[in-house]
Amino acid sequence: MVSLRTDVGTVALDRPGMVASGIMDETGPSLARMIECGCGAVVTKSVGLEPNAGHANPCFTEVPGGYVNAMGLPNPGIELFAEEMEVAVKAGKVVGSIYGASPEDFSKLAGRMEDYGACAVELNLSCPHAKGYGMEVGTDPAMVRAIVGAVKSSVSIPVWAKLTPNTHILQDIGRAVQDAGGDAVVAINTLKAMVIEPEFARPLLSNRFGGLSGQGVRPVGVRAIYDLRTVLDIPLVGVGGIYDWRDAAQYIMAGASAFQIGSAVGSVGPEVFSQVNKGLEEFMKDYGYDSISSMVGAAHE
Protein backbone atom coordinates (compact mmCIF):
# COMPACT_ATOMS: atom_id res chain seq x y z
CA MET A 1 0.00 0.00 0.00
CA VAL A 2 1.51 3.36 -1.00
CA SER A 3 0.43 6.74 0.32
CA LEU A 4 0.67 10.10 -1.39
CA ARG A 5 0.08 12.09 1.79
CA THR A 6 2.91 14.37 2.80
CA ASP A 7 3.77 17.14 5.24
CA VAL A 8 5.33 20.52 4.60
CA GLY A 9 6.26 21.13 8.23
CA THR A 10 2.93 21.36 10.04
CA VAL A 11 0.88 21.61 6.84
CA ALA A 12 -0.45 18.10 6.13
CA LEU A 13 -1.41 17.43 2.52
CA ASP A 14 -3.44 14.47 1.23
CA ARG A 15 -1.63 14.79 -2.07
CA PRO A 16 1.83 16.28 -2.75
CA GLY A 17 0.84 18.58 -5.66
CA MET A 18 -0.39 22.16 -5.36
CA VAL A 19 -1.45 24.71 -7.95
CA ALA A 20 1.42 27.19 -8.23
CA SER A 21 0.75 30.87 -7.71
CA GLY A 22 -0.51 32.58 -10.86
CA ILE A 23 -2.56 29.81 -12.48
CA MET A 24 -6.33 29.45 -12.07
CA ASP A 25 -6.11 31.11 -8.69
CA GLU A 26 -7.42 34.66 -8.88
CA THR A 27 -11.00 33.91 -7.89
CA GLY A 28 -12.64 31.80 -5.21
CA PRO A 29 -14.47 29.57 -7.74
CA SER A 30 -11.30 28.90 -9.80
CA LEU A 31 -9.37 28.03 -6.63
CA ALA A 32 -12.20 25.73 -5.52
CA ARG A 33 -12.30 24.08 -8.94
CA MET A 34 -8.58 23.32 -8.81
CA ILE A 35 -8.88 21.77 -5.34
CA GLU A 36 -11.35 19.29 -6.83
CA CYS A 37 -8.79 18.27 -9.50
CA GLY A 38 -6.54 16.27 -7.18
CA CYS A 39 -4.26 18.84 -5.59
CA GLY A 40 -3.34 18.78 -1.93
CA ALA A 41 -3.66 22.58 -1.75
CA VAL A 42 -3.88 25.64 -3.96
CA VAL A 43 -1.69 28.73 -3.86
CA THR A 44 -3.39 32.04 -4.65
CA LYS A 45 -2.21 34.60 -7.18
CA SER A 46 0.15 36.96 -5.34
CA VAL A 47 -1.90 39.65 -3.61
CA GLY A 48 -0.66 43.10 -2.56
CA LEU A 49 -1.94 45.86 -0.30
CA GLU A 50 -3.70 47.84 -3.04
CA PRO A 51 -5.62 46.85 -6.19
CA ASN A 52 -3.23 46.56 -9.14
CA ALA A 53 -4.26 46.41 -12.81
CA GLY A 54 -0.96 44.81 -13.87
CA HIS A 55 0.89 45.49 -17.10
CA ALA A 56 -0.70 46.40 -20.43
CA ASN A 57 -0.95 43.75 -23.13
CA PRO A 58 0.96 41.96 -24.51
CA CYS A 59 1.89 40.48 -21.15
CA PHE A 60 2.09 36.79 -22.06
CA THR A 61 3.51 34.72 -24.92
CA GLU A 62 4.14 31.07 -25.68
CA VAL A 63 7.69 29.89 -26.45
CA PRO A 64 8.94 26.38 -27.23
CA GLY A 65 8.42 24.34 -24.04
CA GLY A 66 6.72 27.04 -22.02
CA TYR A 67 5.64 30.62 -21.57
CA VAL A 68 7.11 34.05 -20.94
CA ASN A 69 4.86 36.32 -18.89
CA ALA A 70 4.94 39.74 -17.30
CA MET A 71 1.41 40.04 -15.96
CA GLY A 72 2.61 42.71 -13.53
CA LEU A 73 1.11 41.16 -10.39
CA PRO A 74 -2.53 42.03 -11.22
CA ASN A 75 -4.83 41.55 -8.22
CA PRO A 76 -7.78 43.21 -6.49
CA GLY A 77 -5.83 44.08 -3.32
CA ILE A 78 -5.92 42.25 -0.02
CA GLU A 79 -9.19 43.74 1.28
CA LEU A 80 -11.26 42.73 -1.74
CA PHE A 81 -9.55 39.33 -1.89
CA ALA A 82 -11.48 38.42 1.28
CA GLU A 83 -14.46 37.33 -0.81
CA GLU A 84 -12.37 35.01 -2.99
CA MET A 85 -10.76 33.44 0.07
CA GLU A 86 -14.15 32.89 1.68
CA VAL A 87 -15.18 30.66 -1.23
CA ALA A 88 -11.80 28.94 -1.61
CA VAL A 89 -11.15 27.93 2.01
CA LYS A 90 -14.53 26.15 2.11
CA ALA A 91 -13.23 23.86 -0.65
CA GLY A 92 -9.84 22.94 0.85
CA LYS A 93 -6.40 24.10 1.87
CA VAL A 94 -5.33 27.48 0.53
CA VAL A 95 -1.84 28.95 0.71
CA GLY A 96 -2.01 32.75 0.48
CA SER A 97 0.66 34.21 -1.79
CA ILE A 98 1.56 37.84 -1.04
CA TYR A 99 3.96 40.45 -2.38
CA GLY A 100 5.19 43.67 -0.82
CA ALA A 101 8.11 46.07 -0.78
CA SER A 102 8.98 45.97 2.92
CA PRO A 103 8.73 43.83 6.06
CA GLU A 104 5.75 45.98 7.14
CA ASP A 105 3.85 45.34 3.88
CA PHE A 106 4.43 41.60 4.12
CA SER A 107 3.39 41.51 7.80
CA LYS A 108 0.09 43.31 7.13
CA LEU A 109 -0.70 41.08 4.16
CA ALA A 110 0.17 37.89 6.03
CA GLY A 111 -2.08 38.91 8.91
CA ARG A 112 -5.01 39.34 6.53
CA MET A 113 -4.34 35.98 4.86
CA GLU A 114 -4.33 34.38 8.31
CA ASP A 115 -7.67 36.07 9.12
CA TYR A 116 -9.07 34.71 5.84
CA GLY A 117 -8.21 31.12 6.81
CA ALA A 118 -5.06 30.45 4.74
CA CYS A 119 -3.23 27.32 5.94
CA ALA A 120 0.13 29.02 5.23
CA VAL A 121 1.42 32.17 3.64
CA GLU A 122 3.83 32.15 0.68
CA LEU A 123 6.03 35.25 0.40
CA ASN A 124 6.69 36.21 -3.20
CA LEU A 125 10.39 37.14 -2.98
CA SER A 126 10.97 36.14 -6.55
CA CYS A 127 8.91 37.79 -9.30
CA PRO A 128 11.70 38.57 -11.81
CA HIS A 129 10.29 41.73 -13.38
CA ALA A 130 8.31 43.85 -10.87
CA LYS A 131 9.95 47.16 -9.89
CA GLY A 132 10.52 47.27 -6.13
CA TYR A 133 9.01 43.83 -5.48
CA GLY A 134 9.77 40.14 -5.93
CA MET A 135 13.40 39.38 -6.61
CA GLU A 136 14.38 43.03 -6.10
CA VAL A 137 13.78 42.42 -2.37
CA GLY A 138 14.32 38.66 -2.48
CA THR A 139 17.97 38.56 -3.59
CA ASP A 140 19.32 40.46 -0.59
CA PRO A 141 19.76 38.02 2.32
CA ALA A 142 19.52 40.82 4.93
CA MET A 143 16.20 42.00 3.49
CA VAL A 144 14.92 38.42 3.23
CA ARG A 145 15.83 37.84 6.89
CA ALA A 146 14.03 41.06 7.88
CA ILE A 147 10.88 40.21 5.90
CA VAL A 148 10.63 36.60 7.08
CA GLY A 149 11.39 37.61 10.68
CA ALA A 150 8.73 40.33 10.64
CA VAL A 151 6.09 38.02 9.17
CA LYS A 152 6.96 35.26 11.63
CA SER A 153 6.35 37.61 14.53
CA SER A 154 3.00 38.76 13.19
CA VAL A 155 1.25 35.48 12.26
CA SER A 156 0.96 32.00 13.68
CA ILE A 157 0.38 30.19 10.38
CA PRO A 158 3.47 28.71 8.64
CA VAL A 159 5.55 31.10 6.55
CA TRP A 160 6.91 29.85 3.22
CA ALA A 161 9.32 31.89 1.10
CA LYS A 162 9.28 31.49 -2.71
CA LEU A 163 12.76 32.15 -4.06
CA THR A 164 14.18 33.13 -7.41
CA PRO A 165 16.68 31.17 -9.51
CA ASN A 166 18.00 34.50 -10.86
CA THR A 167 20.88 34.67 -8.39
CA HIS A 168 24.20 32.99 -7.64
CA ILE A 169 23.54 33.12 -3.87
CA LEU A 170 20.43 30.96 -3.66
CA GLN A 171 21.83 28.95 -0.75
CA ASP A 172 22.59 32.13 1.22
CA ILE A 173 19.05 33.35 0.64
CA GLY A 174 17.69 29.97 1.73
CA ARG A 175 19.78 30.21 4.91
CA ALA A 176 18.39 33.69 5.54
CA VAL A 177 14.85 32.26 5.37
CA GLN A 178 15.72 29.43 7.75
CA ASP A 179 17.65 31.66 10.20
CA ALA A 180 14.68 34.03 10.40
CA GLY A 181 12.37 31.16 11.37
CA GLY A 182 10.80 30.51 7.95
CA ASP A 183 8.88 27.23 7.82
CA ALA A 184 9.60 26.22 4.22
CA VAL A 185 11.30 27.34 1.02
CA VAL A 186 9.52 27.14 -2.33
CA ALA A 187 11.75 27.11 -5.43
CA ILE A 188 11.75 28.22 -8.17
CA ASN A 189 9.90 31.20 -9.61
CA THR A 190 10.41 32.04 -13.30
CA LEU A 191 13.70 32.86 -15.00
CA LYS A 192 14.05 36.48 -16.13
CA ALA A 193 13.57 36.42 -19.90
CA MET A 194 12.90 38.44 -23.04
CA VAL A 195 11.34 37.75 -26.45
CA ILE A 196 12.08 40.16 -29.34
CA GLU A 197 9.89 40.58 -32.44
CA PRO A 198 12.35 41.06 -35.33
CA GLU A 199 9.72 42.66 -37.58
CA PHE A 200 9.15 45.43 -35.06
CA ALA A 201 12.70 45.49 -33.68
CA ARG A 202 11.39 45.60 -30.11
CA PRO A 203 10.62 43.33 -27.19
CA LEU A 204 7.25 41.60 -27.53
CA LEU A 205 6.05 42.13 -23.95
CA SER A 206 4.91 45.61 -22.97
CA ASN A 207 7.13 45.31 -19.90
CA ARG A 208 10.06 44.21 -22.13
CA PHE A 209 11.21 41.64 -19.53
CA GLY A 210 9.19 38.70 -18.34
CA GLY A 211 9.58 35.36 -16.60
CA LEU A 212 10.14 32.03 -18.38
CA SER A 213 8.21 29.02 -17.08
CA GLY A 214 7.53 25.53 -18.44
CA GLN A 215 9.47 22.40 -19.30
CA GLY A 216 12.70 24.27 -20.13
CA VAL A 217 13.14 25.54 -16.57
CA ARG A 218 12.72 22.15 -14.88
CA PRO A 219 16.43 21.21 -14.68
CA VAL A 220 17.14 24.62 -13.15
CA GLY A 221 14.43 24.05 -10.54
CA VAL A 222 15.56 20.53 -9.73
CA ARG A 223 19.14 21.77 -9.30
CA ALA A 224 17.91 24.61 -7.06
CA ILE A 225 16.05 22.19 -4.78
CA TYR A 226 19.06 19.87 -4.70
CA ASP A 227 21.37 22.76 -3.74
CA LEU A 228 18.96 24.01 -1.07
CA ARG A 229 18.58 20.53 0.41
CA THR A 230 22.33 20.34 1.00
CA VAL A 231 22.28 23.42 3.27
CA LEU A 232 18.77 23.61 4.79
CA ASP A 233 16.83 21.52 7.31
CA ILE A 234 13.41 23.14 6.75
CA PRO A 235 11.03 21.54 4.22
CA LEU A 236 11.26 22.41 0.53
CA VAL A 237 8.54 22.70 -2.10
CA GLY A 238 9.64 22.21 -5.73
CA VAL A 239 8.14 24.12 -8.63
CA GLY A 240 9.13 24.70 -12.24
CA GLY A 241 8.26 22.68 -15.34
CA ILE A 242 6.40 19.74 -13.78
CA TYR A 243 4.30 18.16 -16.52
CA ASP A 244 4.15 14.51 -15.45
CA TRP A 245 4.97 12.13 -12.60
CA ARG A 246 8.62 11.73 -13.64
CA ASP A 247 9.11 15.49 -13.29
CA ALA A 248 7.46 15.47 -9.85
CA ALA A 249 9.62 12.50 -8.77
CA GLN A 250 12.76 14.41 -9.75
CA TYR A 251 11.86 17.28 -7.44
CA ILE A 252 11.01 14.90 -4.58
CA MET A 253 14.25 12.99 -5.02
CA ALA A 254 16.17 16.29 -5.09
CA GLY A 255 14.72 17.04 -1.65
CA ALA A 256 11.19 18.49 -1.96
CA SER A 257 8.42 17.25 0.34
CA ALA A 258 5.77 18.59 -2.04
CA PHE A 259 5.56 20.30 -5.41
CA GLN A 260 3.58 22.90 -7.32
CA ILE A 261 2.39 22.85 -10.92
CA GLY A 262 1.80 26.00 -12.97
CA SER A 263 2.39 26.04 -16.72
CA ALA A 264 1.18 22.46 -17.24
CA VAL A 265 -2.22 23.43 -15.85
CA GLY A 266 -2.40 25.64 -18.95
CA SER A 267 -0.94 23.25 -21.52
CA VAL A 268 -2.05 19.82 -20.22
CA GLY A 269 -5.13 20.98 -18.28
CA PRO A 270 -6.23 20.60 -14.65
CA GLU A 271 -6.20 16.81 -15.14
CA VAL A 272 -2.40 17.00 -14.87
CA PHE A 273 -2.84 16.54 -11.09
CA SER A 274 -4.73 13.24 -11.34
CA GLN A 275 -2.26 12.01 -14.01
CA VAL A 276 0.73 12.85 -11.80
CA ASN A 277 -0.91 11.24 -8.74
CA LYS A 278 -1.62 8.03 -10.66
CA GLY A 279 1.86 7.88 -12.17
CA LEU A 280 3.57 8.52 -8.85
CA GLU A 281 1.52 5.80 -7.14
CA GLU A 282 2.44 3.25 -9.81
CA PHE A 283 6.13 4.20 -9.70
CA MET A 284 6.18 4.01 -5.90
CA LYS A 285 4.56 0.55 -5.96
CA ASP A 286 7.02 -0.72 -8.59
CA TYR A 287 10.12 0.71 -6.90
CA GLY A 288 9.27 -0.02 -3.24
CA TYR A 289 8.58 3.48 -1.91
CA ASP A 290 5.67 3.31 0.53
CA SER A 291 5.43 7.05 1.21
CA ILE A 292 6.47 10.40 -0.23
CA SER A 293 8.78 10.89 2.76
CA SER A 294 10.66 7.70 1.84
CA MET A 295 11.49 9.28 -1.56
CA VAL A 296 12.42 12.78 -0.34
CA GLY A 297 16.08 13.46 -1.05
CA ALA A 298 16.71 9.94 -2.45
CA ALA A 299 19.05 11.39 -5.11
CA HIS A 300 21.45 12.61 -2.40
CA GLU A 301 22.15 9.10 -1.10
Residue 69 or 260 with smaller CB distance to ligand SIN: 69
| Closest CB 248 distance from ligand SIN, rounded Å | 21
| Closest CB 134 distance from ligand SIN, rounded Å | 6
70: Cβ contacts below 8 Å, ≥ 6 apart: 55, 59, 60, 129, 205, 206, 207, 208, 209, 210, 211
Residue 22 or 165 with smaller CB distance to ligand SIN: 22
Residue 144 or 292 with smaller CB distance to ligand SIN: 144
| Closest CB 269 distance from ligand SIN, rounded Å | 21
Q: Are 93 and 119 in contact (CB under 8 A)?
A: yes
Residue 46 or 257 with smaller CB distance to ligand SIN: 46
| Closest CB 47 distance from ligand SIN, rounded Å | 11
SS3 sequence of the chain: CCECCEEECCEEECCCEEECCCCCCCCHHHHHHHHCCCCCEEECCCECCCCECCCCCCCEEEECCEEEECCCCCECCCCCCHHHHHHHHHHCCEEEEECCCCHHHHHHHHHHHHHCCCCEEEEECCCCCCCCCCHHHHCCHHHHHHHHHHHHHHCCCCEEEEECCCCCCHHHHHHHHHHCCCCEEEECCCEEECCEECCCCEECCCCCCEEEEEHHHHHHHHHHHHHHHHHCCCCEEEECCCCCHHHHHHHHHHCCCEEEECHHHHHCCCCHHHHHHHHHHHHHHHHCCCECCCCCCHHHC
Backbone torsions φ then ψ of 31, nearest 5 degrees? -65, -45
37 carries an active-site annotation = no
142: Cβ contacts below 8 Å, ≥ 6 apart: 176
| Closest CB 218 distance from ligand SIN, rounded Å | 17
Using CA atoms, how far apart are residues 45 and 20, in angstroms rounded to an integer?
Answer: 8
Residue 44 or 178 with smaller CB distance to ligand SIN: 44
Residues forming the site for ligand SIN (CB under 6 A):
22, 46, 69-73, 124, 127, 134, 189-190, 211
- Catalytic position from the list 37, 39, 59, 127: 127
Residue 38 or 48 with smaller CB distance to ligand SIN: 48
| Closest CB 213 distance from ligand SIN, rounded Å | 8
Catalytic residues: 127
